Structure 1
Amino acid sequence: MNKLKNRYLSLDVFRGLDVALMIIVNSPGNGETSFAPLKHAEWHGFTLTDLVFPTFLFVVGNAMSFSMKKYETLGDAAFFKKVLKRFAIIFLLGFLMYWFPFFENGTLKPLAETRIFGVLQRIALCYLFASILVYYFKTRKVIIFSACALIGYHILLLTFGDLTLLGNAVLKLDKILIGADHMYHGNGGVAFDPEGLLSTLPSIVNVLAGYLTGKFIQKNGQNYETVAKLLMFGCILVFAGLAWDLILPINKKLWTSSFVLLTCGIDLFVIAILVYLLDMTKTFKRTYFFEVFGRNTLFIYLLSEIFIISLFEIKMKGTTAYNWIADNIFIAMAGDYMGSLLFALWVMLTCWLVGYVMDKKGIYIKV
């Protein structure tokens, strides 16, 4: 059985792969001319892009399988102090990111129209609840909670609404509790938040799946039996997700229970393959590019979002710097679809370069 260190290469590379893909899908030169795998499904359905965020939650849980060891000896007060502090910082960073650049036409942007929930906020909430669950309960009870959460969410969706954009239970609860002005309006102008309050419940399961996977690898070691079992579990979850899709469609924006099982299954496949190729056989040794993203994950993601927002805020020849650079450099040079992809790669590589400099200087920003 192989001894594991405080982390393993496959986790850093997995996290780095996901962050790189996240930046690419978030920064197309032209969203209308992006390649199909780099777009979210319109509503029901599944694309490569739909895998990005649940995978991020999965690797958060995976990393927790290492960090939670330290909390077990601290006592309840110290545990809650650390977990709540991390939750608050991540949530606040997400909120400030949506409020940025804070001023508009010389006046402070109104908080009354600022989105409250989003990607980092969901990560914070899922981290908080998952941490409490794995701190107080054994694996069996965590699995029971996960099953109850997915079944319960299915029942809530069908009891208090339908599965349409305008009639779903996630939208109804968010309108009551946070109001339409604080919600995302990217779905044709409709106030609907894909990181809504109710759909946070099933997304906790993605974090728990990552945690249980990390614990399983640490307990059983990086060997052929472990890889085989991860692949088997992944196959079971994918099959279960596709079967559940028959009665509750796979839908990223509603974060349906079938979507959770499918994405957790795919993530098990990927982590198993990475453990085999990187940690066991060491088939691929040139992984540093993705390790850079994996070592300053939160900072690089925030940097990419601030970079994109800033490009939209800067005016340039009657349009935004974002659109001008995309249209007049990348799309003019390589065409609509390839130019759009090259622009996204430029944004991603710019962020990687910052991460590279930080890594060479030994600067690691942790929350």
Structure 2
Amino acid sequence: MSKQTGGRLVSLDALRGFDMFWIMSGEHIIHELAKATNWPVFRVMSAQLHHTVWNGFTFYDMIFPLFLFISGISMPYSMQKKVQLAGVGEAFELPWKDKKALYLSMLRRTLLLIILGCIVNGLLAFRGYEQTRFASVLGRIGLAWFFAGLIYLNNDVRKQLCYLVAILSGYWAMMEFIPVPGYGAGVLTMEGSFESYVDRLLLPGKLHDGIHDPEGIMSTIPAVGTALMGILTGTFLRDGKFSMREKACFLFAAGIGFVLLGLLWDTVFPINKRLWTSSFVVYTAGWSLLLLSIFYWVIDVAGFQRWAFLFIIIGTNSILIYMCAEGLVNFKYTADYIFGGAIRHLPLLWQPVLAAMSVTFVQLILLYILYRNKLFLKI
């Protein structure tokens, strides 16, 4: 844990918290409300809080790429002080000694995220190499952020865009034209895709789905594109040529454009989270930009921040609460110990709803205490 410093983009913390809220416990509240009320609005929301089986898209599929996109946005801001101290205009102009220190820091962060991801997967309860899953959400965030950062630190915006196009088109070409033994080329199924084939050959330990891993080796390549799109967005937000209102409007317009482009690409390269297809990268970037534009306009442009306080305290400790919610802390046990007796006196239909809400309440109390004491998990 470390003390927080200033200079954060408040809307970014709020959006990160909004994103993480659904993973940490928000989804369970909606699922229970759908069961208790049977209202169409909650049934629709509940259906959106499940991953698609293969091709297609739900809101739940949006959570991971949005978090990675936000991680990319943060990079130009985190590099700002180093750029100013070095007396250069852009990060790629930093002298070698400064870049070397950054590379080592980025590598340390990436390795730590990979290790933490393995711990979330159950590494501490080690049951042998073959039963250990090494691929993880946190590991992918670390790797995608690292390689996108290398591109950012060594290239101007124009070259970053070229890398982005090369990554997305190159991944599409590999998936479409490289044959898989026993299946041929362009078979985008869990069994026959080139991505799954490479994972079966090269990914150590246990695969998430036996024959495929959604955080595998090949699909991490386009995930670098997701992080890089976030970096490009962060660079734009730091640009002093445009007013904040103009930036919000541009983000919204760009979001619509990328959503449409993603849908167009979907006709030949399906939107698929498990394969992290190029169309998925573009489509989710569009929705990320739309959400960012709304949060940025309301919080940073219009100045309405109080409504987002709970999201902010989640967003400033997002990795910590993710790890805790994924099994490192039994919030349900604590919530039941504190509130279970009272909840069991209420109507049976509503007990699961209030039990889910009590878990969220306990999580928020923990996050609030950390926030008030300026304690944040820094990686």
TM-score range, shorter chain: 0.7 to 0.9
User: Which amino acid is the alignment partner of residue 192 of structure 1?
Assistant: H
Q: Could you report, residue by residue, the CA deviation over 1:279-328 in whole angstroms, capped at 9, with x for unpaired residues?
A: 111245222111101111111111111346x589x9xxxxxx9xxx9xx9
User: Which amino acid is the alignment partner of residue 255 of structure 1?
Assistant: W
Which of 65, 90, 103 is residue 80 of structure 1 equivalent to? 103
Alignment of 1:25-36 (within 5 A): 35-36=46-47
Which of 153, 156, 165 is residue 190 of structure 2 equivalent to? 165
- Structure 1 residues 238, 99: CA separation in 2 closer, same or farther (over 3 Å shift)? same
Q: Does 1:194 align with 2:206?
A: no
Alignment of 1:18-167 (within 5 A): 18-24=19-25, 35-72=46-83, 73=86, 75-102=98-125, 108-160=126-178, 161=185, 162-167=187-192
Structure 2 alignment gaps of length 5 or more: 1-5, 36-42, 87-96, 179-184
User: Which amino acid is the alignment partner of residue 15 of structure 2?
Assistant: F
1:250–1:258 CA contact under 8 A, matched in 2:
yes
CA distance in 2, matches of 1:329, 1:163: 49
SS in 2 for 1:75: helix
How far did residue 191 of structure 1 move?
3.1
CA distance in 2, matches of 1:163, 1:343: 41
SS in 1 for 2:272: coil
Q: Which residue of 1 aligns with 2:365?
A: 353
Structure 1 alignment gaps of length 5 or more: 103-107, 315-320
How far did residue 57 of structure 1 move?
0.3
2:99–2:153 CA contact under 8 A, matched in 1:
no
Q: Which residue of 1 aligns with 2:235?
A: 215
Q: Which residue of 2 aligns with 1:10?
A: 11
Q: Which residue of 1 aligns with 2:376?
A: 364
How far did residue 41 of structure 1 move?
1.0
CA distance in 1, matches of 2:63, 2:356: 15
Aligned length: 337
Q: Calculate the aligned-residue CA RMSD, in Å.
A: 2.9
1:330–1:342 CA contact under 8 A, matched in 2:
no
CA distance in 2, matches of 1:138, 1:55: 24
Which of 176, 179, 203 is residue 178 of structure 1 equivalent to? 203
Q: Which stretch of structure 1 is more off in the superposition, 22-31 or 252-261?
A: 22-31
How far did residue 109 of structure 1 move?
2.2
CA distance in 2, matches of 1:330, 1:128: 51
2:26–2:360 CA contact under 8 A, matched in 1:
no
Identity in percent: 29
Which of structure 1's runs of 4+ aligned residues deviate more than 3 A? 24-34, 70-74, 328-335, 341-349
Q: Which stretch of structure 1 is more off in the superposition, 29-38 or 90-99?
A: 29-38
CA distance in 1, matches of 2:300, 2:331: 39
CA distance in 2, matches of 1:41, 1:332: 33
How far did residue 330 of structure 1 move?
12
Q: Could you report, residue by residue, the CA deviation over 1:92-146 in whole angstroms, capped at 9, with x for unpaired residues?
A: 11112212551xxxxx522331101110000010111011110001111111111
SS in 1 for 2:306: coil
CA distance in 2, matches of 1:298, 1:330: 35
CA distance in 2, matches of 1:346, 1:334: 16
How far did residue 329 of structure 1 move?
6.8
CA distance in 1, matches of 2:135, 2:347: 36
- Structure 1 residues 244, 276: CA separation in 2 closer, same or farther (over 3 Å shift)? same
Q: Which residue of 1 aligns with 2:224?
A: 204
SS in 1 for 2:208: coil
SS in 2 for 1:287: helix
How far did residue 184 of structure 1 move?
0.5
Q: Does 1:267 align with 2:288?
A: yes
CA distance in 1, matches of 2:346, 2:232: 44
CA distance in 2, matches of 1:191, 1:16: 33
1:153–1:202 CA contact under 8 A, matched in 2:
yes
- Structure 1 residues 331, 78: CA separation in 2 closer, same or farther (over 3 Å shift)? farther
Q: Which stretch of structure 1 is more off in the superposition, 299-308 or 35-44?
A: 299-308
Q: Could you report, residue by residue, the CA deviation over 1:163-218 in whole angstroms, capped at 9, with x for unpaired residues?
A: 11111111100110025x42113xxxx43211111001111111111111111111
